[in-house]
Amino acid sequence: MGFYDLTVTNAQGEEVSLKNYEGKVVMVVNTATGCGFTPHYKPMEEMYEDFKDRGFDIIDVPCNQFAGQTPGTDEEIHEFCTLKYNTQFPQMKKSDVNGENTIPLFAFLKEHAGFEGFGKGPAALAMNVMAKKNDKNYKDSPDIKWNFTKFIVDRNGNVVKRFEPTEDMKKVRAFVEGIL
């Protein structure tokens, strides 16, 4: 099964075929409205506006699995994102990205791009401490560790990169621009 064989449910409850994204570079990201990484919406929206005409899209999957940082309804989440960050990219139904209710899209992404670490710096150190508290073997699991983990899928449906939330958004942007 490949990326384009999957579907995801949008915020209106409709199934969206990922075939709709064939030939595009796609960033799939699990998001939250009350997280220290929530400001990532701003550079994500800038990327969307700057690159959408070149074949770039974003699939935003809100998730409440990390410290309950996305407590609202799909409608409330959408309202927050559009009012605070003027987001225009597609937002999906709030979903699980880990555990027994993981949506198939995230099971696929994790299978093709495992966890490689949080990098260096204060945010990375803090995330390592927190992840270890949640799971002492966190380094060995492909599970999503926190909100705003980003997966880049190339124009052929291959998962080519995973960025943890601690990664500088300028690096994410440069990577995406490099494969467009």
CB 18 within 8 Å of CB 5: yes
Q: Confidence class of residue 126 from pLDDT cuts 50, 70 and 90?
A: very high
Asked whether 63 and 94 are in contact (CB, 8 A), the reply is: yes
Give tens-digit pLDDT for 85-111: 999 999 999 999 999 999 999 999 999
What confidence tens digit (pLDDT) does each residue in 50-86 have? 999 999 999 999 999 999 999 999 999 999 999 999 9
Residues 139-171 have pLDDT tens digits of 999 999 999 999 999 999 999 999 999 999 999
Annotated catalytic residues are: 35
Checking if the pLDDT of 134 tops 90, the result is no
Cβ neighbours of 67 (radius 10 Å): 13
Nearest of 172, 63, 164, 70 to residue 123 by alpha carbon: 164
Q: pTM to 2 decimals?
A: 0.97
CATH of domain 3-168: 3.40.30.10
Residue 19 has pLDDT above 90, yes or no: yes
pLDDT of residue 8: 98
155 backbone φψ class: left, alpha, beta (φ>0; ψ -120 to 50): alpha
Locate the domains of the chain by residue range: 3-168
Q: What pLDDT sits at residue 170?
A: 98
